[in-house]
Structure 1
Amino acid sequence: MEQSNLAQQQCIAVVGTMSSVILGFRGELIKAMVQAGHRVYAFASDYTAETEAAVVSLGAIPISYKLGRFSLNPFAELLSAVHLYRLFRQYHISMTFCYFAKPVIYGTLAAWVAKVPVRVAKIEGLGRAFTIGPNGDTIKRKLVQKIQVALYRLSLAKAHHVFLLNPDDRKDLIEHFGIVTGQLHQLNGIGVNLAHYARSGPPEQSIRFIFVGRLLEEKGIRYFLAAAEQVKQKYPQTEFVVLGEPDGKHGVSRKQLLDYVERGIIYYPGRVGNVVPHLQNASVFVLPSYYREGVPRSTQEAMAVGRAVITTNMPGCRETVKHGVNGFLVPAHDQNALEQAMLQFIQQPQLISSMGEQSYRLAQQKFDVSKINQQIMQVLQLLPATLPPEQ
């Protein structure tokens, strides 16, 4: 596949799902693209006047499009692709940068039909279709996985560049299923702004474990709650904090969560706009996820603040922890191993600071968003041309 000359200004469509993700996780990349002189259109399916204004403040142009995040209706998906095709043509898009499964699949195919010169796909984990729950595999999951693999096989062949966040995804998706793609590139993660997630020493008065993320079954919230209950019985002074929105359909409901609050097991402050103060007030970050992550952003944020980590030895999650150095890796679905890892920090509190320091160093090395964005910009030839020195 031939690419156009990227020395000139590009009209880039950054295509995702929710506007909150555009702002929270793509803001730094969009700013870098704009500062390099490119015109950036930020595509999302749930814009409000407030989030549109926030995107404009980044220097980008918000574009709404139709997408059913959880829909399996093929006609609805086809309409989404047609809508994207028309928008790409309308705005004379010269490069598409699609992330998450549905935008990657339908956005890349729409861009190919629209003859967009450069098509980029970013796969941030393999998601629910590749996630096996505590009760084992299901026929439904296998069927959804087959459909998703078939769609990836169709769409990724039309992408000029494919970014992956962990080596397991490459092994499973590319090598195991034999999917042919454009040029493959490995990133460490999406990265965080280290200046925003300011490093601080952990609190010395009490030991506090924190869970941050969507309160979904796959993210391990029930394992965290069960561990909190058990550990509290042995060490009542230990504190447990939960940040995230309840999801009664795929996780814990607000009612279930408040039951743990009323029994004094967890502290739940509700929806928070800024997680940094809560991370700074915590001792250890815990993510017992069995979801097929890319590289969890929440863990990167905790590491930037300088927090030790307990997470699972799962794809994506294991990229954030050197076992015994900056935290502990435990097997997925192993309740006892999770509790034992927590107890190790309680019984050896000196590990909280020493491992937290190692987390911060690892964040500097691997998860600095400016370095990751620089890598993306270089691969896509989006950096501004260097002018020759004056004679």
Structure 2
Amino acid sequence: MNSKVIIIGTTASGILGFRKDIIKSLTASGHKVYAFAINYTDEQKAQVVQLGAIPEEYTLNRTGMNPLADLLATLRLAKKINKIKPDLVFSYFSKPVIFGTLAARLAGVKKIFGMLEGLGYTFTNQPEGLSKKAKLLQSVQILLYKLSFRFLDKVIFLNPDDPKDLVIKNNIKVKKFAVLGGIGLDLKQYPYIKPSQKAVSFIFIGRLLKEKGINEFITAAKLVKVIYPDVIFTVLGGLDEGNPGGLQKNDIELLVSTGVIDYLGQVTNVAERIAQASVFVLPSYREGVPRSTQEAMAIGRPVITTDMPGCRETVVDGVNGFLVKPWDPQALAEKMIYFIENPDQIETMGLESYRMAQEKFDAEKVNKKLMGLLGL
């Protein structure tokens, strides 16, 4: 039987960037899909309509912790949901899962699901330990999860560490939880491209934040360049200068002017840039299952990443790349040097990455599994 399905996310760009494939799968199966986001432009609404879904705007304070504002936003969202009278509500990301779930419950929705694509920085270990602010925010989040999770038919995680660290460790009552294993990619957009036989190069993709491992990447690049000065280290990703762990513009300018890295900022041709590099590097402190790593694997690049939640789901150590300890630029540099000195392993391990991506990260397979978890 075809159902009315509401998907609740945060930004419109997030709906179009990360939920496009599941929306297409749902609409192709005959379900009526309403895509809720907080800041649609007319062009983005038109794109959602092209996918066969109905765009809906709602209000959510993405980062603030104002209980009254959140309560009012939840009541307004419940009213919007009640008008549609959906058979199922599916929220993703922390605040939509919390407040979307509560709103769906208030609206009397029978089937309510949530997906957490990672636990966020409040659950991300730091070399110096969690700050007092992060510990406080984590306590508030746990309280809100305890309040909302009881109304979920199922909580979906991307990796097996997240439910252990959130649900089991904090004794949060849930009816069911499941592990999806990654959000999947349209593999046609990331075809295998044989790596260049020329000089070995490394690429980092992510927001330029401490917890993404950008500092370790830069330090490792400096260590490698002492021995191999001509090796290229490319960085893609946006600055977040307001974030206490974010690199500043003048930091980047100095690194570029001294030849440590090539910085390309945010680009639209990510697949092309990955294809130009030899090895993908993400020394992150914690992830859901990183999309950028999945993209690099699909294109056929070996991966160096940390042995941390989410990251370790993408690498079989010594097969398609290497797992290193977090916060250890020396270990990272050693694995980079391994590829410089054993360039034949780039194609060999890259082909293993490609094989794993076909098996684990094909959007068609992932969406079939996700629809099964949602009972659709």
Assess same fold via TM > 0.5: yes
Residue 158 of structure 1 is aligned with which of 151, 167, 170? 151
Point out the more displaced range, 343-352 or 100-109: 343-352
- Residues in 2 aligned to 1:274 and 1:171: alpha-carbon distance in whole angstroms: 36
Q: Match for residue 263 of structure 1? A: 258
Residue 66 of structure 2 is aligned with which of 73, 81, 103? 73
Q: How far did residue 260 of structure 1 move?
A: 1.4
Q: Match for residue 12 of structure 1? A: 5
Q: Does 1:278 align with 2:273?
A: yes
**Structure 1 counterpart of 2:130, one-letter code:** D
Residue 61 of structure 1 is aligned with which of 35, 39, 54? 54
Task: Provide, for residues 307-355 of structure 1, a one-character-per-residue CA deviation record: whole Å limited to 9, x for no partner.
Answer: 1001111000001000111111111111211111111111111111111
Task: Provide, for residues 140-161 of structure 1, a one-character-per-residue CA deviation record: whole Å limited to 9, x for no partner.
Answer: 2111111111111111110112
Residue 377 of structure 1 is aligned with which of 361, 371, 376? 371
Residue 221 of structure 2 is aligned with which of 203, 221, 228? 228
- Residues in 2 aligned to 1:217 and 1:35: alpha-carbon distance in whole angstroms: 41
Task: Provide, for residues 174-200 of structure 1, a one-character-per-residue CA deviation record: whole Å limited to 9, x for no partner.
Answer: 221121113222111101111111111
- Residues in 2 aligned to 1:80 and 1:197: alpha-carbon distance in whole angstroms: 38
Gaps spanning 5+ residues in structure 2: where? none
State how 1:41-120 maps to structure 2 within 5 Å: 41-120=34-113
Task: Provide, for residues 227-249 of structure 1, a one-character-per-residue CA deviation record: whole Å limited to 9, x for no partner.
Answer: 22221222122111111111112
Q: Match for residue 359 of structure 2? A: 365
Say which SS state the counterpart of residue 127 (structure 2) adopts. Answer: coil
Q: Does 1:303 align with 2:297?
A: yes
- Residues in 2 aligned to 1:133 and 1:53: alpha-carbon distance in whole angstroms: 42
Q: Match for residue 388 of structure 1? A: none
Residue 124 of structure 1 is aligned with which of 97, 108, 117? 117
**Structure 2 counterpart of 1:274, one-letter code:** N
**Structure 1 counterpart of 2:331, one-letter code:** A
Q: How far did residue 304 of structure 1 move?
A: 0.6
**Structure 1 counterpart of 2:16, one-letter code:** L
**Structure 1 counterpart of 2:294, one-letter code:** Q
Say which SS state the counterpart of residue 93 (structure 1) adopts. Answer: coil
Q: Match for residue 336 of structure 1? A: 330
Contact 2:195–2:276 (8 Å) recurs in 1:
yes
TM (norm. structure 1) is 0.93
- Residues in 2 aligned to 1:171 and 1:162: alpha-carbon distance in whole angstroms: 13
Task: Provide, for residues 88-138 of structure 1, a one-character-per-residue CA deviation record: whole Å limited to 9, x for no partner.
Answer: 012222211100100000000110111111101011111111012222222
Q: CA RMSD in A?
A: 1.3
Contact 2:223–2:330 (8 Å) recurs in 1:
no
- Residues in 2 aligned to 1:175 and 1:64: alpha-carbon distance in whole angstroms: 34
**Structure 2 counterpart of 1:281, one-letter code:** Q
Structure 1 residues 184 and 222: CA distance shift in structure 2, 3 A: same
- Residues in 1 aligned to 2:180 and 2:160: alpha-carbon distance in whole angstroms: 9
Q: How far did residue 274 of structure 1 move?
A: 2.4
Residues paired across the two proteins, number: 374
Say which SS state the counterpart of residue 266 (structure 2) adopts. Answer: coil
Q: How far did residue 222 of structure 1 move?
A: 1.6
Say which SS state the counterpart of residue 310 (structure 1) adopts. Answer: strand
- Residues in 1 aligned to 2:40 and 2:248: alpha-carbon distance in whole angstroms: 26
- Residues in 2 aligned to 1:322 and 1:158: alpha-carbon distance in whole angstroms: 37
Q: Match for residue 193 of structure 1? A: 186
Q: How far did residue 57 of structure 1 move?
A: 1.5
- Residues in 2 aligned to 1:19 and 1:135: alpha-carbon distance in whole angstroms: 35
**Structure 1 counterpart of 2:118, one-letter code:** G
State how 1:238-249 maps to structure 2 within 5 Å: 238-249=231-242
- Residues in 1 aligned to 2:91 and 2:79: alpha-carbon distance in whole angstroms: 16
- Residues in 2 aligned to 1:102 and 1:89: alpha-carbon distance in whole angstroms: 20
TM (norm. structure 2) is 0.96
- Residues in 1 aligned to 2:182 and 2:297: alpha-carbon distance in whole angstroms: 13
- Residues in 1 aligned to 2:257 and 2:50: alpha-carbon distance in whole angstroms: 41
Task: State, as a whole percentage, how many aligned pairs show the same letter.
Answer: 49
- Residues in 1 aligned to 2:234 and 2:76: alpha-carbon distance in whole angstroms: 42
Q: How far did residue 46 of structure 1 move?
A: 2.1
- Residues in 2 aligned to 1:47 and 1:23: alpha-carbon distance in whole angstroms: 10
